[in-house]
Amino acid sequence: MKLPTFRFVHAADLHLDSACRAHRPELRRRLRDAHRQAWVALVDWCLAEDAHALLLAGDVFDDDRLSLTTEALLVDQTRRLVDSGVTVIMVTGNHDPGTAGLRAHAIDWPARGFHLLSSRCPRVVEVADRNGIAVGRVTGAGFERRAEFESLVRAFQAPPSDLVSVAILHTQVVGSRGCEAHSSYAPTAVDELTARPFDYWALGHVHTRQRVSARPEAWYPGNLQGRHFQEAGPRGALLVEIEAPGREPKVVFRSLGPIRFEVLAFEDLAALDSLTELRRRCQDAVAVLRRESLDVQGWFFRVSLRGPCPLTDTIRGQEDELERVLENDLDALEVELDTEGLHAPFDFGRLAVDHPLIEELLALAREAEEDEDLLDRLRPAPLAGGALACGPPTEAAKRLIERLVPGRRP
C-alpha cells in the first residue's frame, strides 16, 4: 500500500520578543509585533497547506525576554494547530534551552499533539495523518543549556526505512553561509549529516536560508522575521513534501515576515548631478521590490552609496534631512544612509602633477593599451590585488589609484 506523502512545514529562529534594531521606540514596538504576526501567518500557512506537522528547529523565543502576552499567543496558536490535527515538534536551542526551570518547560503547552524535544539524547516522534495513518518519523535533540559546545548529531541513530525519516536539530553547520555571525554551538560537519540516512535534516540556528547538503537534503529556513539589516531580504519558512523513504524532498520557500529590511546599493554615481536623480533611482529600485513583494506591510531601507560621486559633500552635509525625505519618497518605516564608501571624484590630472609616481603609473597603463606583451606582464599585479587584471588598463590603473590614495573620506 502506498503511504501518503509526508508534508510538513520547517521553521526556525522565530526569536519571539527578541530585541530589534530601529532608531525610534515606536518602530521597535512595530518590529516586535511583526514577529507575532509572522508566527500567526506561519500557523495559517500550515493549516492552508494541510500539513501533517510543523517542525520548529529551535530559538522559537528568547527565554528571558518572552512576555506573558507573547507566551499566550504562542500557546494559543500551537493549540490551533494540534486541534486541527497538525503535530507540532519543537527542539530547544541556545535562546530557549530545555533545562528544568526555564521557560520552555514552564509554558503550559498542549498536552496532545505537541512534542518538546529538550534533551541531548535524540527522541523519535511518529507523525500520522488525520486518519491515523503513520506518514513519517521525526528524530530530534535539543539544547539542555544555553551553550552546547559538542556535536549533538553523533547520538542520532540510523532510522528504519519503512517510513519517511526526518531529523531536526539546532546546530551550526561548519562552513555554512552566515555561520560566522552566530556562536559556534553544537557544531556539525556536513559529513556528519550525510553519514546518517535521514530523508531530510530540518536545521536551525543560522539565519541565512540555504541548503547545506543535497544528499540527504539539509536546510536552514532562515528566521521568520528580520530584525536588522544583517537579516535583509525575504524571511519565512519551508514547505517540505517527501513521497516515500529515499525519495528526493520537494522544498518550497514562503515569505511570512510582514516587515522587511532591504539594502539599496548604488555604485555608479560618477554622473549623478542632483539629489532629485538619487531620489528617483531609489524610487525605481523600491518599485521593483514592491511589485515582487505585495504581502510586505512595512519596509526598512539602507541606501548604500559607494564610489566617486560629485555630490559627496552635499549628501554628507544633509544626511539626516535626506533620510527623512527618502522615508517619505519610499513610504518607508525608516531609511538609513550609508555613505562610508562615498568619495569625491579624483582629479587624476592634478594628482599626476603632484605625484610623479601616479603619472608614471598612468603612462604605463596607456602604453599597455597599445602593447599586449606589456599588458600580459602587468596582469598578475599582485600588489594591486588584481586591480589591473580586468578592464582597460587606464581605467584599471585609476581604480588602483582610488584604492591607494588616502583621504577618500574627509
Q: pLDDT tens for residues 192-237?
A: 999 999 999 999 999 999 999 999 999 999 999 999 999 999 999 9
Q: Rounded distance, CA 175 to CA 57, Å? A: 19
Q: pLDDT tens for residues 131-155?
A: 999 999 999 999 998 888 999 999 9
Give the pLDDT score at 100.
Answer: 75
Please measure the distance between the N-terminal and C-terminal CA atoms of the chain and give it in whole angstroms.
74
Q: pLDDT tens for residues 291-336?
A: 999 999 999 999 999 999 999 999 999 999 999 999 999 999 999 9
Q: Rounded distance, CA 310 to CA 333, Å? A: 29
6-255 CATH pick, 3.60.21.10, 3.90.1300.10, 1.10.10.10, 3.40.50.1860: 3.60.21.10
User: Residue 315 is inside which H or E element, if any?
Assistant: helix 312-317
User: Residue 169 pLDDT more than 90?
Assistant: yes
Q: Rounded distance, CA 338 to CA 108, Å? A: 45
C-alpha cell of residue 113? 499533539
Say which residue the cell 503535530 belongs to.
Answer: 87
CB-based burial label for 168 (10 Å; 0-12, 13-18, 19+): buried
Chain centroid to Cα 289, Å, comes to: 17
Contact 224, 13 (CB under 8 A): yes
Give the pLDDT score at 408.
Answer: 46
- DSSP letters, 8-69, are EEEE----BT-----SSHHHHHHHHHHHHHHHHHHHHHHHHTT-SEEEEES-SB-TTT--HH
Residue ranges per domain, the chain? Answer: 6-255, 259-343, 348-404
What is the residue-averaged pLDDT of the chain?
90
Contact 250, 10 (CB under 8 A): no
CA-CA-CA-CA torsion sign (32, 37, 217, 263): negative
Strands (E), 121-209: 123-128, 134-140, 164-170, 200-204
For residue 278, name the pLDDT band (cuts at 50, 70, 90).
very high
For residue 407, name the pLDDT band (cuts at 50, 70, 90).
very low
For residue 127, name the pLDDT band (cuts at 50, 70, 90).
very high
Q: pLDDT tens for residues 334-357?
A: 999 999 999 998 766 666 666 677
Q: pLDDT tens for residues 188-203?
A: 999 999 999 999 999 9
Q: What is the DSSP letter of 161?
A: S
For residue 182, name the pLDDT band (cuts at 50, 70, 90).
confident
- DSSP letters, 65-105, are T--HHHHHHHHHHHHHHHHTT-EEEEE--SSS---TTSHHH
Chain centroid to Cα 348, Å, comes to: 41
User: Residue 379 pLDDT more than 50?
Assistant: yes
In the chain, the amino acid numbered 80 is: R
Give the pLDDT score at 349.
Answer: 67
Strands (E), 92-146: 114-117, 123-128, 134-140
